[in-house]
Amino acid sequence: MSLRLLLPEDGVNELLTAWPDEPRVFERGRTALDETVTENLLTYYAFTGCVPAHEVAVVKAPGPSLNQNAYMANGRTDAAKLRKLYDNGYTIRLGNLQRVIPFMATLSRSIQEETGFSNYVHAFLTPPGNQGLCHHWDQQMAVIVQTCGVKRWQLWCPPVESPMREYNESWRVWRDHYIPDWEAAGPDFEIDLKAGQSLLLPRGWVHSPHVIDEVEHSAHLTFAIRERTPLWLAEKFVAEAIEDPEFRRTILPGDITGPALVDRMNEVRNALHAHLDRLDLDRLAAVVRQTALTELEYTT
């Protein structure tokens, strides 16, 4: 199993060799993913109360996500409450399927082995004529796999450059004029994503997806693929500094609060330069490569 369950061969090649910075739609066809993670499986999982409450999000635009108490009873997900919310137009997000569905766990690991990038997958169930999340952007590349129905994706060019982890998250740098400006200008792309199609959605692209059909509901999987960056490599370089006792010694409180802080910072910068110059990159490359294949996630 690999990315080839999410994308056709040309889509896989484009992702692995070019890492596109504009949205792309591909005809996926029907793969083992479609055969295994079906609409029936997702709805059965959602509405039997099996989903841990902390992995459920319930939202209906333009409002925020509901408090967990709206779909919990006795500390657990209440299937009847969740079903009623869905029937009233709320989108149900089922988080981290790679942790609960063995097929998805294997697929997630295979994607990481293929790319060196950690990843996770959420499912979104949206009732007819409704919208869950409205305008926002994400911190990583997403592969959107439409499994049933049609969802319209209105997309706008990134308003910030290369959002990553907490840096340039949409809610942290949000401006009140964003949505009026976007709506006035109209979307840069408008895509009606159909079952059997997949959308590559690069990080930072604003999206406001919704179901326009008043009869048919929508289900899609979002595979979020966390890019490795130069900062990630730099962190691996610095992490090895802990083996040098000079980097583990105590800095006196007075040096932190007083004028000597600049001197200490200069000493550490010089020590860091020396540490980096001593690194055996061939040896470290093997460590970093193995880390890329096994490191599951970082704080976002």
Q: Where does residue 131 fall: left (phi above 0), alpha (psi -120 to 50 degrees), or beta otherwise?
A: beta
pTM of the full structure = 0.93
Distances (CA, A) of 3 to 37, 85, 213, 257: 15, 33, 29, 51
**Are residues 182 and 289 located together in one domain of the fold?**
no
Residue 132 lies in a domain: yes
Instruction: With respect to residue 299, please indicate whether it lies within any of the assigned structural domains.
Output: no
pLDDT bracket for residue 299 (50, 70, 90)? very low
Same domain, 132 and 248: no
Instruction: Give dist(CA 42, CA 14) in Å, integer.
Output: 29
Q: What angle do CA 95, 13, 104 make, to 5 degrees?
A: 25
Same domain, 154 and 92: yes
Mean pLDDT of the chain: 94
269, with CB counted inside 10 A (0-12, 13-18, 19+), is exposed
Is 181 part of a structural domain of the chain?
Answer: yes
Q: Give the gyration radius of the chain's Cα atoms.
A: 22
Question: By residue range, what is the domain housing residue 19?
Answer: 3-225
Q: Is the pLDDT of residue 298 over 90?
A: no
Q: What is the pLDDT of residues 211-240, one digit of tens each?
A: 999 999 999 999 999 999 999 999 999 999
Is there a single domain that holds both residue 144 and residue 250? no
> Per the structure, how many domains does the chain have?
2
Residues 257 and 182 reside in one and the same domain: no
Q: How do residues 53-72 score in pLDDT, each as one tens digit?
A: 999 999 999 999 999 999 99
Q: Is 183 contained in some domain?
A: yes
286 and 194 part of one domain: no
- Residue 34 tokens read as 């479609």
pLDDT reported for residue 300: 31
Reported as a pLDDT band with limits 50, 70 and 90, residue 296 is confident
Please report, for the domain that includes residue 42, its CATH number. Answer: 2.60.120.650
